[in-house]
Amino acid sequence: MAVIRDVMPAFDLLQPESAGDAQKLLQQHGSDAWVMAGGMDSLDWLKDRIKKPGVLVDLSGVEELKGVRATGDGVEIGAMTTLTEIANHPGIRKNYGLLAQAVELVASPQIRNQATLGGNVSQDVRCWYYRGGWPCYRAGGNICFADTPVGRNREHAIFGANRCVAVHPSDSVPALIALDAKFVVQTSGGERVVDAEDYFVGPEDDITRINMLRPGDLLTAIRIPAAWAGARFYFEKVRDRNVWDFPLMNVASAARLNGGTIAEIRIAVNAVSPRPMRLQAVEAAVRGRAADADTGEMAGKLAVEGAVPLQYNAYKIPLMRNLVKRAVAGAGQPQGSSTLASNALAQEATCRS
């Protein structure tokens, strides 16, 4: 049997015990440092020899970045809080059940026990060309291998393609956008708080990044305001397999109703573009209308306007239309009646009918 002599490149492992020390290390080592939270995304990169940092900053010992804390205006979730803790937290389940539903559909129980919220929102795109070390645009090359006549692009973008057609893979992100969450980032210039949708960067702005973090920056917490506590929530995820798999598409909505009329609503989808999408035009169109099938039908058609499919992902257009339709119509359903879909083939058949 042949002996494989290729080994993971060496790096210095640094394990700070405070957020302040972690940020100092990140600022000291700059672009040569790699931040590791739960390690679910990091270890894939390192084992495949694609990313070769000189320094690995392991945040597992930073206790102040863990846990769910009540605030005067909602809750604050430390970036190192595991998805399992979030899914099981009584306050999250009671007041922000949309996030609990979303994180419960991430991967498998074993992965959720280790994966963190900060890592889930900050993970890189899952295009196999990029993650396989191919010299694509995002990796510094001059081609998108997925967007070619022979490219494999079933899981890729129908919106926002700009050289790169890879999509953002997170399940928690659309729920956080719908909940109007704020991301807390420590930078060299101090604390910066940004809206959830503004944390992400599209290829039209910087094709080498997926979020706003610069070398030396550290995501420390995510804050969810009380304004959306106890709202009407809807979350749906479509994937090929019932466990472990990333979304082919997901949708999240949070709504306030006045009788049967939509007074306020926030809707977000993911895995349709290089960055998560908040559907502001749809929100404006359905505000003041009944939360019913007719409004949902109108919302679904509006949501897919401008979509441009690739060779193998045209199914995403009817899929997105139906998911948005159900998210809007679902706002009128009794609390707790959200659909949690998991079989992509069944969903695609529904969309084509």
Q: What is the mean pLDDT of residues 53-69?
A: 98
| Predicted local confidence at residue 191, as pLDDT | 97
3-state SS, one letter per residue, for 273-332: CCCCEECHHHHHHHCCCECCHHHHHHHHHHHCCCCCCCCCCCCHHHHHHHHHHHHHHHHH
| Predicted local confidence at residue 48, as pLDDT | 86
pLDDT tens-digit map of 265-294: 999 999 999 999 999 999 999 999 999 999
Instruction: Please report which confidence band the pLDDT of residue 47 belongs to, taking 50, 70 and 90 as the band edges.
Output: confident
Give the CATH class of 63-122+167-352. alpha beta
Q: What is the mean pLDDT of residues 29-49?
A: 93
pLDDT tens-digit map of 107-122: 999 999 999 999 999 9
Residue of 353, 310, 342 lying closest to 156 (CA atoms): 310
| Predicted local confidence at residue 302, as pLDDT | 98
Domain ranges of the chain: 12-61, 63-122+167-352
Euclidean distance between CA atoms 43 and 171, whole angstroms: 20
As a dihedral over the C-alpha atoms of residue 91, residue 329, residue 235, residue 162, rounded to 10 degrees, the angle is -130
Instruction: Please report which confidence band the pLDDT of residue 9 belongs to, taking 50, 70 and 90 as the band edges.
Output: confident
Q: Is 1.10.8.60 the CATH number for 12-61?
A: no
pLDDT tens-digit map of 296-351: 999 999 999 999 999 999 999 999 999 999 999 988 676 543 333 334 333 443 44
pLDDT above 70 coverage of the chain, percent: 92
